[in-house]
């Protein structure tokens, strides 16, 4: 079949240009969902199966070089390489903890930075992915909330974290039995449901069976309970849901998780009851940070199990991870154990989350990129050259 070699004009939408490297105006294919990739092929007068082939190379094999895509005719490879690219996030810094946890600081095309954390365990490995630069929520005990500069990540930047980690750990081709990354959690920087559209595109790419093929059962999205998007998340993605509860009264949750003033406990729990996958097999995880003398008494535990009665759930107790300038203390082991006992007696699993990577500030709530500082120094540079 004679397929015309397309002469491709780079007329990508500006968001795609932004996702590409600075001064690189080739269209970035990374982060285009299936339909968008098919549409891009159609724009180039290429048949749909070209999108399937590209998908395989990009998301199953992890290839970034069009020339390595041997199922594509050579002239097509060359034409695509001129006008398109498959980008990778740039690694600013890579740190490895004494316990094997790895944290990457990635630099985005606009100079902002985000963090991604890999947590290896005996029989699995979890990748903790960010959804925003910084976070607008300002939870009182969370380091990320102290970062002022915030923007949503593009779908390409969300999938890009996983792609870069697959490169680093040699996890290509995807889906191998001995792979390092076996599950992902949307628990890094940011509130994923405030960036729902891009998170949805990214997770659909990640779940697609012809590509990375990570099952929805191995994906958990953590939210403070942004009600308008919770239902859509269940309907459209049906991934596991984790909800950051942290307090049993609105009075306290208003302080710890200020978005509670907009989405209070009772409403969030009602949305959990209605979450489409809240069956016994697919329990909702309630995250509960253990803050010494703030929310960690046996009475708090009793109140908690009353609140969540009837919801298929488990309660993940997270010992508070300190960060420079934090005002809280971690509950004692004895307090955490006593709390867990009450929750367990009520019939809920209550695993205590082992702090991982504290020495490199990679544990829950410790992520904060230097974007703000970078911005300031950039401003300084500009002022100096003005």
Smaller CB distance to ligand SAH: residue 181 or 187? 187
Smaller CB distance to ligand SAH: residue 187 or 272? 187
Choose, by CB under 6 A, the member of 119, 127, 129, 139 that binds ligand SAH. 139
Distance of alpha carbon 275 from alpha carbon 267, whole angstroms: 12
Q: Is 40 a catalytic residue?
A: no
The enclosing H or E element of 194 equals: none
Smaller CB distance to ligand SAH: residue 207 or 289? 289
**DSSP class of residue 58?**
I
Give the shortest CB-251-to-ligand SAH separation in angstroms.
18
Position closest to ligand SAH via CB? 365
Is 364 a binding residue for ligand SAH by CB under 6 A? The answer is yes
Q: Please state whether beta strands 284-290 and 240-244 pair in parallel, antiparallel, or not at all (unpaired).
A: parallel
Give the shortest CB-274-to-ligand SAH separation in angstroms.
19
Distance of alpha carbon 261 from alpha carbon 255, whole angstroms: 9
Is 142 a binding residue for ligand SAH by CB under 6 A? The answer is yes
Smaller CB distance to ligand SAH: residue 64 or 326? 326
Displacement of CA 199 from its chain's centroid (Å)? 8
CB 172 within 8 A of CB 166: yes
Smaller CB distance to ligand SAH: residue 79 or 206? 206
CB 17 within 8 A of CB 27: yes
Is 55 a binding residue for ligand SAH by CB under 6 A? The answer is no
How many residues contact ligand SAH, by CB under 6 A?
17
User: Token pair 């630069």 is at which residue?
Assistant: 133
Smaller CB distance to ligand SAH: residue 203 or 364? 364
Cis-peptide, bond into residue 249, ω within 30° of zero: no
213, burial (CB in 10 Å: exposed 0-12, middle 13-18, buried 19+): middle
Give the shortest CB-241-to-ligand SAH separation in angstroms.
10
Binding mask 191-230 for ligand SAH (x = CB under 6 A): x------------------------------xxx------
Choose, by CB under 6 A, the member of 118, 141, 166, 275 that binds ligand SAH. 141
Smaller CB distance to ligand SAH: residue 278 or 364? 364
Cα torsion 220, 254, 313, 364 to 10°: value is 40
- For the record, the structure tokens of 359 come out as 């020495």
CB 223 within 8 A of CB 239: no
Is 318 a binding residue for ligand SAH by CB under 6 A? The answer is yes
Other beta carbons within 10 Å of 155: 25
Can you point out the beta strands (E) in 297-353?
313-319
Binding mask 250-279 for ligand SAH (x = CB under 6 A): ------------------------------
Q: Among residues 40, 113, 115, 191, which one is catalytic? A: 115
The enclosing H or E element of 114 equals: strand 113-120
Is 339 a binding residue for ligand SAH by CB under 6 A? The answer is no
Q: Among residues 135, 139, 142, 364, which one is catalytic? A: 364
Q: Is 364 a catalytic residue?
A: yes
Residue whose C-alpha is closest to residue 219's, from 172, 285, 166, 152: 285
Distance of alpha carbon 72 from alpha carbon 53, whole angstroms: 8
Choose, by CB under 6 A, the member of 87, 195, 220, 244 that binds ligand SAH. 244
Interface residues with ligand SAH (CB under 6 A) are 137, 139, 141-142, 187, 191, 222-224, 244, 287, 289, 318, 320-321, 364-365
Q: Show which residues are catalytic.
A: 115, 364
């Amino acid at each position: 079949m004679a397929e015309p070699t397309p002469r491709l004009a780079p007329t990508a939408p500006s968001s795609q240009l932004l996702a590409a490297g600075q001064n690189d105006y080739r269209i970035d294919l990374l982060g285009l969902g299936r339909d968008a990739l098919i549409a891009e092929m159609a724009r180039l007068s290429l048949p749909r199966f070209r999108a399937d082939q590209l998908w395989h190379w990009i998301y199953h094999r992890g290839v970034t070089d069009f020339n390595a895509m041997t199922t594509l005719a050579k002239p097509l490879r060359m034409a695509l390489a001129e006008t398109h690219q498959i980008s990778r996030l740039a690694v600013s810094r890579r740190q490895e903890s004494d316990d094997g946890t790895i944290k990457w600081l990635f630099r985005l095309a606009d100079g902002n930075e985000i963090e991604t954390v890999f947590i290896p365990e005996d029989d699995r490995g979890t990748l903790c992915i960010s959804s925003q630069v910084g976070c607008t929520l300002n939870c009182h005990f969370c380091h990320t909330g102290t970062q002022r500069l915030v923007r949503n990540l593009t779908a390409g930047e969300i999938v890009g974290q996983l792609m870069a980690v697959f490169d680093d750990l040699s996890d290509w081709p995807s889906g191998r039995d001995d792979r390092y990354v076996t599950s992902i959690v949307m628990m890094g920087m940011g509130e994923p449901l405030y960036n729902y559209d891009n998170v949805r595109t990214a997770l659909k790419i990640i779940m697609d069976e012809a590509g990375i093929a990570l099952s929805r059962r191995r994906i958990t999205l953590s939210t403070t309970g942004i009600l308008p998007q919770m239902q859509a998340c269940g309907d459209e993605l049906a991934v596991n849901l984790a909800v950051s509860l942290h307090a049993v009264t609105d009075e306290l949750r208003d302080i710890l998780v200020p978005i509670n003033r907009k989405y209070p406990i009772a409403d969030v729990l009602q949305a959990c009851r209605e979450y489409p996958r809240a069956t016994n097999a697919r329990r909702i995880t309630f995250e509960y940070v253990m803050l010494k003398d703030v929310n960690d008494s046996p009475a708090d535990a009793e109140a908690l199990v009353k609140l969540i009665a009837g919801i298929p759930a488990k309660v993940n107790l997270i010992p508070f991870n300190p960060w420079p300038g934090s005002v809280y203390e971690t509950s004692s082991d004895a307090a955490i154990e006593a709390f867990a006992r009450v929750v367990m007696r009520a019939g809920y699993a209550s695993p205590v989350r082992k702090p991982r990577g504290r020495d490199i500030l990679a544990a829950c709530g410790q992520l904060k990129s230097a974007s703000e500082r970078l911005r300031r120094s950039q401003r300084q540079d500009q002022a100096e050259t003005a």
